[in-house]
Amino acid sequence: MLFVITGPSGCGKTTLVRQVMENVKNVQFSVSHTTRKKRNSEKEGRDYYFVAKSEFEQMIKEEKLAEWTVIHGNHYGTSKREIEKKGTRCYLLLDINVQGAEQIKSKLKRSVFIFILPPLFEELKARLEERGQESPDSIKERLEVARKDIRFYPDFDYIIINAKLKKASKELEAIILSTRCRLDIKKKEIVPILRSFSEDR
Ligand code: 5GP
């Protein structure tokens, strides 16, 4: 089962995902491929698979990606292998952008789609500025992208407003836990229980 988590840059989705992974069992992070440079805090294979553009293009050509996009000049994508390897065994969290989420939606309809919103546009702007990772031009660009991305919210199953991290991560946990109780997910698990109720046992 896939949980596709999207939201504008700076809305805090990566922190949220990390937090939930610590608290919920049987959940894994979908590690994307990217051509962007590795940041000091990042680890190959944990945060991303860092690859050259030529390698990424080869993956596109060989149809190895379930979805992919270009963000601020860098390529990002989720490999089919990552989904096959982890998605069948556990609950897989995909931290991807709107374009990627739309691609997954057209292919894997049974996934759960979650949109993270900042409390206000001004708050998002302030968070990006405080983060100090981007130039003023890059912040401006991210805010413009956010304005466009936000229009896609009706395509998502759930909305989380990330005003307070604790509350937002509880809401994300609740979505994951309630999905686990869905009839279509529980079907296999309840077979022996139903059998135990059978009169001709
Ligand atoms: P960053 O470079 O800050 O790690 O991520 C930039 C953006 O890329 C974030 O919005 C993140 O959700 C998105 N992203 C990361 N991996 C993927 C991916 O595999 N596919 C898509 N479509 N977006 C991704």
pTM for this model (two decimals): 0.94
Task: Determine the longest span between alpha carbons in the chain, in angstroms.
Answer: 72
Unique residue bearing structure tokens 């139903």: 194
Average pLDDT estimate for 123-136: 89
Neighbours of 13 (CB within 10 A): 24
Question: Cβ(32)–Cβ(49) under 8 Å?
Answer: yes
CA-99 nearest atom, ligand 1: 22
Pick from 68, 76, 131 the residue to mutate for probing ligand 1's pocket: most ligand atoms within 8 Å of its CB. 76
Read off the pLDDT of each residue in 17-24 and give the average, rounded to a whole number. Answer: 94
Average pLDDT of the chain, as a whole number:
94
> For a pLDDT cut of 90, what percent of the chain falls above it?
85
Model confidence band, residue 9 (pLDDT cutoffs 50, 70, 90):
confident
Q: What is the pLDDT of residues 137-185, one digit of tens each?
A: 989 999 999 999 999 999 999 999 999 999 999 999 999 999 999 999 8
Would the CB of 149 count as within 6 Å of ligand 1?
no
Residues near 45 by beta carbon (within 8 Å), at least 6 away in sequence: 31
Rounded to whole angstroms, how far apart are CA atoms 164 and 49?
30
Delineate the domains of the chain, giving CATH numbers in brackets: 2-30+90-196 (3.40.50.300)
